[in-house]
Structure 1
Amino acid sequence: MNKILIITHTLDNFSIEKVTEYVEQNNYEVIRFDVDLYPLQNKLSTVFQDGEWVSILETADKKYRLDDISAVWYRRAYNIGNGLKEEIEGKFYGATMGEIRNTLFGFIESVDTYSLGKPSVYRRLDSKEEQLKVAHKIGLTIPETCLTNNPEEAKKFIVKHQNVIAKMQTGFAIYEDGVENVVFTNVVSEDKLEELDSLLYCPMQFQKMIQKKRELRITIVGRDVYAFEIDSQQSEDAKVDWRKDGINLIDKWKRTELPEDVEEKLLELLDVYHVDYGAIDMIVSPEDEYYFIEINAAGEFFWLDNLTEGNMISKSIADVLCDKAPRRNNMVMA
């Protein structure tokens, strides 16, 4: 039986089960590698001897050979080495975690088969600057943008465009007294210029604020395009960043169609990055102009998948993994 390796973590959502269900319907075996159980519970070994490379994953339940798998879905790598800090001396923890990550990511990068996502791909797509430059080059419309740690450059940009949004290039939260505070997108106006001096210590991304008629979330799997829209302006909390009121808006997304030229350019964007999955955020202005905001290499899709008949996004992922749909070949030795 052909085997598909899914790399994720124990707290991942039910989208894993839906994709697994479709993969198994194609008569493939699913091997799940929860990285938060590595290395304390999951054991990973790669050996070269007698002219052959062999990789073995040993979980609490079973031992799997991984060098003959048909495909990999690199979904998530959260909480690697969970519990390790309590097991070893503190002075060894940083170095040990470095070895754990290098070993795990080295294995994922070097698996000589098709992979839906890789650590190196995710790292490259972390660059919002490159995303915007590529999108602009292939003809997508992007907002006026300034990425800087220079307070004076930021101030000039804000004065010129008046209404500007500020956001971080990476998604993260700040923890204070045990409380998680997610850093959302915020509006910066001229009366806030004096607060920008601390920018020196941490660069930010500033963009001209685009008035929103609709916001789009477009999930692309292979050549399948699933576009959804929402009127985020119906919620006061969601006007700047829909995620602030994401729970209340979760069932208000609607399937929509993209203009043909926009869809073609988004598919070209995935061609440039040589990836078969992307969750893309766009804004449609009152003048019906489509603005590209960003592409997320591992963006979430489960709430939109629930709005399709038969969880079609999960099915598309399974079809790509099982080589039943067109895909961009990214094998190491291809």
Structure 2
Amino acid sequence: MILCITHSGDYYNVDLFSAYLKSKDIPFFRLNSDHINHLQKISIDQDSFELTDEHGNMVSSSDIKGVWNRKAWSITVPEDMDEDYHRIFINEYSCLRYNLITTLEHLPWINPYEAEKKIDGNKIHQLRTARKNHLCVPETLFSNDAEKIKSFFYRYCNGKAVAKLHGVMSKSMAGEHMLSTMIIEEDSLESIGDIAYCPMIFQPYIEKSYELRIIYVDGAFFTGKINNSENADWRIANSQYSWSAYELPEDICRNLSAMMREMGLCLGAIDMIRGKDGNYYFLEVNPQGEWGMLQKELNFPIAETIADYLIKRINIHE
């Protein structure tokens, strides 16, 4: 059996994955990470766990042979719970969830849990690793210091920068609920003093020809190109553009593969831009990033490739 850790609002990608497993007669269990709470019955001992999900489906850890950590989500708190108990509820169920996950750590994972956790929350580490592997990376500052930000702006940004909150992620392929990447020009620096309450990542604005969303699966690349040269981020104006298939240069594939191996990731959604200067700039990798739009619009077999990789790892493990 393959366990897929996702959330209750995730369908298209997971449905493709589970349908492919069904075609190969491989059992599949969907675990909604946001419902690892009072909606599920969970018991963990020193060696194993048993779980009954919100729909009455049962699974034992002894049946699980591999794990796809598709998309972890925040644990849902009951609407009628007193706010004084929210922190205790979330803390204890988060602890329960982590104990459940570590029960399975000896199995094949996509991606290995601890490796993914380190990369997913550390943009500066990502950029450092990318540069080490010969990828072009914009100068970057993560700061809450207004004077340091001004100094960075005048030194590197040539009158225009981008600023982004590190922890804000899109909840959908269309970019809904996502705080837009912001353009910073010289007159914006007058109000930069409030940065003390909300540190942000700053980079020079790069004049670009187009953006790339690259899905990496164990050395295979599925790359979509979107002709967004006007907006700071394609997700802001996703409906204005369509995706087209793109062939990455061999040296970029080689360097990205080396970077992903060093990060310990076998799967990730990589964002790059092609600058008008001809360079390919690495921006970030999201181990749980979206790729459904590329499979839907470009017929890329991404779900099938992920499943095949995990099946191969399970067979080797056994």
Q: Same fold (TM over 0.5)?
A: yes
Give the letter for the 1:47 counterpart. D
Shift of residue 5, structure 1, vs aligned partner: 0.4
- Number of equivalent positions: 308
The whole-number CA distance in structure 1 between the counterparts of 2:228 and 2:6 is 31
**Secondary structure in structure 1 of the residue aligned to 2:135:** coil
Which whole-Å CA distance do the structure 2 matches of 1:283 and 1:158 have between them?
A: 21
For 2:102, the equivalent position in structure 1 comes to 109
Q: Does structure 1 residue 247 correspond to structure 2 residue 239?
A: yes
Mapped contact 2:269–2:285 kept (Cα < 8 A): yes
What is the TM-score normalised by the length of structure 1? Answer: 0.85
**Amino acid in the other structure paired with 1:116:** I
Match of 1:55 among 26, 49, 59: 49
Alignment match of 1:284 (pick from 246, 268, 274): 274
Q: Counterparts of 2:135 and 2:258 in 1: how far apart (Å)?
A: 10
CA distance in 2, matches of 1:286, 1:90: 51
Corresponding residue for residue 140 of structure 1: 135
Give the alignment of 1:230-241 within 5 angstroms.
Answer: 230-233=226-229, 236=230, 239-241=231-233
What is the aligned counterpart of 2:3 among 2, 5, 17? Answer: 5
Q: Which runs of 5+ in 2 are unaligned?
A: 171-175
Shift of 1:77: 2.4
Residue by residue, what CA displacement relative to the aligned partner does 1:144-170 show, whole Å, maximum 9, x if unpaired? Answer: 222211101111111222221111112
Consecutive unaligned residues of structure 1, counting only runs of 5 or more, are 174-179
- Measure the CA separation in 1 of the matches of 2:306 and 2:217: 6
Counterpart residue number, 2:173: none
Corresponding residue number in structure 1 for 2:305:
316
Q: Does 1:98 align with 2:91?
A: yes
The CA deviation string for residues 119-147 of structure 1, in whole angstroms up to 9 with x for no partner, is 54443222111011111111100012222
**Taking structure 1 as reference, are residues 247 and 210 closer, same or farther at Cα in structure 2, changes over 3 Å only?**
same
Cα distance 1:77–1:217, how it changes in 2: closer, same or farther (>3 A)? same
Aligned identity (percent) is 28
| 2:151 is equivalent to residue 170 of structure 1 | no
Distance 2:4 2:169 in 1: 24
Detail structure 1 runs of 4+ shifted over 4 Å in the superposition: 324-327
Q: Cα distance, 1:70 vs. partner? A: 1.2
Give the equivalent residue in structure 2 for 1:176. none
Find the aligned partners of 1:118 and 1:203 in 2 and give their Cα distance: 29
User: What one-letter code is carried by the residue in structure 1 that aligns with 2:165?
Assistant: M
Aligned counterparts of 1:280 and 1:80: Cα–Cα separation in 2: 26
Q: Which residue of 1 aligns with 2:200?
A: 204
Q: Name the residue aligned to 2:289.
A: 299
SS at match of 2:62: coil
Does the 8 Å contact 1:23/1:322 carry over to 2?
A: no
Which residue of 110, 125, 128 corresponds with 2:123?
Answer: 128
Q: What do residues 58-102 of structure 1 show as CA deviations (whole Å, max 9, x unaligned)? A: 12333221234111111122242342x52x444333112101011
Residue number in structure 2 paired with 1:151? 146
Whether the 8 Å CA contact 1:44–1:57 is kept in 2: the answer is yes
What is the distance in 2 between the residues matched to 1:297 and 1:326?
23
1:167-204 per-position Cα deviation (integer Å, ceiling 9, x unaligned): 1112258xxxxxx8632112111122111111122211
TM-score when scaled to structure 2?
0.90
How many Å apart are 1:230 and its aligned residue?
Answer: 1.4
Alpha carbons of 1:118 and 1:90: their partners in 2 closer, same or farther (altered >3 Å)?
A: farther
1:165 partner amino acid: V
Question: Would you say the 8 A contact 1:319–1:325 is kept in 2?
Answer: no
Q: For the Cα contact (< 8 Å) 1:71–1:321, is it kept in 2?
A: yes
| Distance in 2, Cα, partners of 1:16 & 1:77 | 13
